[in-house]
Structure 1
């Protein structure tokens, strides 16, 4: 809020010791020592590192998954946590307190930042809160991968008028905003890794008009073109396009049976990508369900599969976990020109007059999705919100009553508790008989995917937002990808551009970032706070203030009784403000927590 004073900030001195929560294995019993954070020497930055004070850190449901799985979590798989413990927490707002000698020209003590946790270095994911130490510590290092990564520096300057809690919540909000910014890219992508499967079709002249407009965007790349021994005229077009882009080209003549075998796809993935997968797979003819499944499995992170389809397919076992975590896109067309698979793929941007189904929307992320949809200049005409907990739906109804929304948008709430999937499907179909333009799946139950998939309208998109584990497969009729242009996409995390966009919206007040904050706590409360998130104790987000270690875990609705001087500064008695944060820090911050 304008005119509010900043939280009282002590001298930016660096203490000799800091409190830190190390995770040594699966389960809360392995978080910290004897249920408490550890007192460890404050790390010292090298010339190419920063030391930051962790001002506020949000708890994500991903943190719950890390605690539950330990080194079986996909981003920690195989790591010996006993020897190399993880420091969780990736929704971070921080302040620089020490600058390495080589960074003096780029950073200053006192600078505030929000952190884009999805760090990549050399194409390898090194996420903060997973591979790199996260925010559940009072002071921590920002190391070289986050300062010199593939996207440059993964820190974004934070405007002073944002509270610490608001700044920390920019990261989860960016994940929500990013899910509505997905759009198909040119297919195939220039200078990437292509796999093209071309059967013998003498009576059909397949095309790929996208090849004509491809321009180099980097160096290298490989095109693997497998074709029927009897030939296919399109083989020459792919070879010439790849050569024009200065890509390596490998052609492979196969018998019809060999060309249609899943084993061939697996072999080519291993041989030409080192097991990483292809960025684009273009599958012509009438592929079998087994071949489509193998092609989805052979996609690299961010990979696209385009296929032609002219007859009904048997259900395909789709790895919905990979679609979410690896941001895969699968597209089909009945056209002879496979480029139409991309042409008939819409972006996930919300549009006026459309319909949106939010499945499993009672939690914090569901609140953000609903807030975001209603905050658009031209919001959807109808939004249907589904959850299994009436008290969480009541919280959303209350949210709408307080904030209001465009009267042109109809919002319906549906409690699915105890309702069999087939009856849920009938009820949701009745609310939108012609189907939903977009379905955002916030449920991690695999059966939810097969339940809502048929509810899409022609050209509709099912966005897998929730983290279904990799390897979980759901049988789906991909014929509809071609005949009705349905699309299945995965959304996980956000890009630097998404974070910058979201930070700007938050700074301008166009995004109600702080309205999803439900509880606050000090660093010592982390195990209790994680249990609270697991148990859905609070309807919204929980934020930890690492440098207020003795602050108890409190819902904002508890503040009038427990901390009236803070509660009096909430907006409308329920929404966090920077003034309330200032009062909180005055009450709890100690010059020396030890």
Structure 2
């Protein structure tokens, strides 16, 4: 085993049950087995997602046992694998340095500095995937044990992404949450019926089936079609496609989450209520209204738009292919967009505002709305110079005091509230994009005016988490100086302040991110605005109130003394 000097004990924040956090100053530091890597944590960002784990604990989809990807025998030999009701260590926004590796480790070496892609998508749980900081111990401890069979996927790609030594710990630890933001803008959207997928076509009386073949993917047609219709001419139109066809009498009897695409030629709310539940993961439903009106709101699975991720499109015409042409290639803002970030004052909202201000799009305006004047003021102080440098119009609106009177073309929603989607559809401009960034719980449905949604050619989408590719994109921006992730830092802490930091995230008392330095045992939670009262020499190295690598280095020097 290759190693450096390692202590026997460490400080760690452990989640031992629902809403049961404890600071353990005497947790064992494990020694790596043959396939394992031990790393020292430099910094951890606290995340709102940590609260979901805190509340749900063993019921969280990523705290469940791994059911696919590694054998039970291998998993049981990993001390940091802690599924179900076993105590875990939260914290997935980390930068670490490898200090020991087992004899059979091939892809990692002592001394490497890395950030972690927390979603182990190759390891499936019953409802999601395994994750660092969930069913595998995370970063709110001084040392973490990782297994190479977990953190290297089947293609040999590493979940531990190397980073340079000359970048501040907080800057690179925050690549992960910024990557989640980036993912929501760069994820590619499917713009046709899935090749080799399962297609359901439902046609009401009097609706011709048109534009279906033209909606097929360039990669090929669906594998099969299930048809529910009442007219022979509709059935013949499907049979003429030359694909395997199965007739069904009533969509109610069809399996839930059973179809990759649903094309509905009709405008009936009861039918749409049924079809909502037939969408599989990553499915698209296309409502081809044929000039008819639904006439009342439809209960749409807005939670699954985020977590599914499912998509809703439609057209007032008679042709299915008209609707697919309205799907954007990705979720990015466009030249000339008027962007509204709802809930802009929170940590993730700040990132969306800063990201869009710095996106390099022409003619863009960005508005941030929030109910908290202090949080808006903090955001404006950070974002205003960036907006000026990028020639972007920036506006802050306290929605408690001022009514938004503009039809925006891009909405980024930071609060998990279905009504915000409904409001965007009602108020937005034609061709609007609605980014359902906040994690509305997957089972939640909300009444939406699909007539207006379709007439305005709107598109709503959501994403959850990030990929290795997303993190590399953001890391490149950080390393090149294009993106300063420290702009989102609002407070720092050592281990004694970590649980207070999680409480601050829950109570939304901090406008930005909280960075924890596990090697500092006795530093409490300190907002940057109060840093001078605790560490004057550290406060002196802030840049106009913002956290800097120089301030971080000074904190590590004086707080360890």
The TM-score, its normalising length taken from structure 2, stands at 0.88
CA–CA separation in structure 1 for the residues paired with 2:513 and 2:433: 27
2:120 corresponding residue in structure 1? 119
Alpha carbons of 1:283 and 1:17: their partners in 2 closer, same or farther (altered >3 Å)?
Answer: same
The residue number in structure 1 matching 2:134 is: 130
Deviation at 1:100, TM superposition (A): 2.6
Native 8 Å contact 1:201 1:232 kept in 2: no
The 2-side partners of 1:238 and 1:505 are apart by 47
* Structure 2, unpaired ranges of 5+: 67-81
Paired residues for 1:173-184 under 5 Å: 173-184=178-189
Task: Count the aligned residue pairs.
Answer: 535
**Contact 1:91–1:172 (8 Å) recurs in 2:** yes
How much has 1:237 moved relative to structure 2? 5.7
Match of 1:312 in 2: 293
Moved over 6 A (4+): 77-82
Partner Cα distance (2:192, 2:137) in 1: 37
Q: CA deviation at 1:56?
A: 0.8
State yes or no: 1:289 paired with 2:269.
yes
Shift of 1:296: 3.0
CA distance in 2, matches of 1:333, 1:214: 24
How many angstroms apart in 1 are the aligned matches of 2:156 and 2:202?
Answer: 33
SS at match of 1:134: coil
Cα displacement (A) at 1:64: 2.1
* Offset at residue 212 of structure 1 (A): 6.5
CA separation of 1:192 and 1:138: change in aligned 2, threshold 3 A:
farther
SS of equivalent residue, structure 1 residue 173: helix
Matched-pair contact (CA < 8 Å) for 1:521–1:553: yes
Change (3 A) 1:380 1:101: farther
Question: Counterpart of 1:5?
Answer: none
1:518 aligns with 2:490: yes
| Alpha-carbon spacing, 1:571–1:381, altered in 2? closer, same or farther (3 Å) | same
2:15 alignment partner, SS class: coil
Q: Is the 8 Å Cα contact of residues 117 and 129 (structure 1) preserved in structure 2?
A: yes
1:333 alignment partner, one of 307, 310, 315: 315
Alpha carbons of 1:484 and 1:408: their partners in 2 closer, same or farther (altered >3 Å)?
Answer: same
Q: What is aligned with 2:168? A: 163
Cα deviation for residue 388 of structure 1 reads: 0.5
Partner of 2:5: 13
Find out whether 1:582 has 2:553 as its counterpart.
yes
- What SS class does the counterpart of residue 104 from structure 2 fall into? helix
Tell me whether 552-561 or 89-98 shows the greater mean CA deviation.
552-561
State the SS of the aligned residue for 1:405.
Answer: helix
* Superposed CA RMSD: 2.7
Q: Is the 8 A contact 1:551 1:588 kept in 2?
A: yes
Q: What residue number does 2:341 align with?
A: 358
Residue 385 of structure 1 pairs with residue 372 of structure 2:
no
Give a deviation string over 1:399-454, Cα, whole Å, max 9, x none: 2345452574322222122x6xxxx7xx32x2x2xx21110111223332222221
Give distance in 2, aligned partners of 1:302 and 1:202: 27
Of 213, 216, 228, which residue of structure 1 is paired with 2:218?
A: 213
Match 2:89 to one of 72, 87, 94: 87
Q: Deviations over 1:259-280 (max 9, x none)?
A: xx4x23xx334xxxxxxx3462
Does structure 2 retain, via aligned residues, the 8 Å contact 1:304–1:329?
Answer: yes
Aligned match of 1:97? 99
Q: Tell me how far apart the structure 1 counterparts of residues 446 and 130 of structure 2 sit (CA, whole Å).
A: 29
Matched, 1:280 2:260: yes
Tell me the residue number matched to 1:413: 396
The worse-fitting range, judged by mean Cα deviation, of 313-322 and 53-62 is 313-322
Partner of 1:243: none
Q: CA deviation at 1:545?
A: 1.0
Structure 2 equivalent of residue 142 of structure 1 = 146
Q: Flag the 1:501–1:21 CA change in 2: closer, same or farther, 3 A.
A: same
Kept in 2: contact 1:351–1:380 (CA 8 A): no
Aligned equivalent of 1:536, options 504, 508, 526: 508
Judged with a 3 Å threshold, the aligned counterparts in structure 2 of structure 1 residues 534 and 380 are, in CA distance, closer, same or farther, namely: farther
What is the DSSP-based 3-state SS (H/G/I as helix, E as strand, rest coil) of the residue aligned with 2:56? helix
1:371: which partner in 2?
354
Equivalence for 2:238: 235
Structure 1: tracts of 5 or more residues without a match:
1-10, 241-248, 270-276
**Which segment is superposed worse, 516-525 or 149-158?**
149-158
